[in-house]
Amino acid sequence: MDVDPRTLSGQAAYELLTALFVPRPIAWMSTLDTEGRANLAPFSFCGAVSTHPPIVMVSIGRRDGQPKDTAANLLATREGILHICHRPLAEAMVATSANPDAATDEFELAGLAKAPARKVAPMRVADAAIALEVQVERHLEIGAGPSDLFLLDVVHAHVRDDLLVDGAIDQAQLRAVGRLGARLYCDTSAPFEIQPT
């Protein structure tokens, strides 16, 4: 099958890309608005960009042409926390993808406890295995939507102690959740190794 992506509707292009680029890590973003209200939402267009300094990226599509709460908060306050969701919190993570009004605290909506950060104002998910405190390095508007693309400088990292084995993250124990197409997800519970030749 040959596909010209320019001939697809926005929804059809989304469905194609999200089924092809798998698994996608999920940036579970905690932010605060200018009134100090908490927001927590997941985005699967994300990844690492640079290691020195550590820069990660998250792309947030708009809703009806307007920035979503997370994007608006990042633009206003310039900081947040990016969690790497692990399997025990997957259902809670999906629950925070609902679209309540800006006054709704998704931590409370999903029954999640909060913990303070070290270098940024937003709270983190207390039970998250990994949480990266970030500050906005750069913002770009991408595409016809447009989407809000953020380059985020990692200023502090929280990693659960038991995940570190010989200085590396035990991926099987982490069970990081990845997004597949449609409503499908996976985790890292069964990694395999390939030796270089």
CB 43 within 8 A of CB 59: yes
* Helix, strand and coil percent figures for the chain, each rounded to 5: 20, 40, 40
CB 36 within 8 A of CB 76: no
Cα dihedral 194, 129, 187, 26 sign: negative
Best CA proximity match to 37, nearest among 90, 91, 73? 73
For residue 18, what are the CA distances in angstroms to 12, 81, 148? 10, 24, 17
Cα dihedral 142, 8, 181, 65 sign: positive
| pLDDT on residue 101 | 84
Sheet with 177-179: strands ordered across: 24-25, 177-179, 185-187
For residue 167, what are the CA distances in angstroms to 48, 133, 164, 170? 20, 21, 6, 9
Tens-level pLDDT at each residue, the chain (197 residues): 788 878 888 888 888 888 888 999 999 999 999 999 999 999 999 999 999 999 999 999 999 999 999 999 999 999 999 999 999 999 999 999 998 788 899 999 999 999 999 999 999 999 999 999 999 999 999 998 899 999 999 999 999 999 999 989 999 999 999 999 889 999 999 998 999 98
Domains delineated in the chain:
24-184 (2.30.110.10)
pTM, 2 dp:
0.93
CB 167 within 8 A of CB 175: no
| pLDDT on residue 105 | 94
| pLDDT on residue 135 | 98
| pLDDT on residue 19 | 86
| pLDDT on residue 38 | 97
- To the nearest 10°, the Cα dihedral for 132, 134, 137, 140? 80
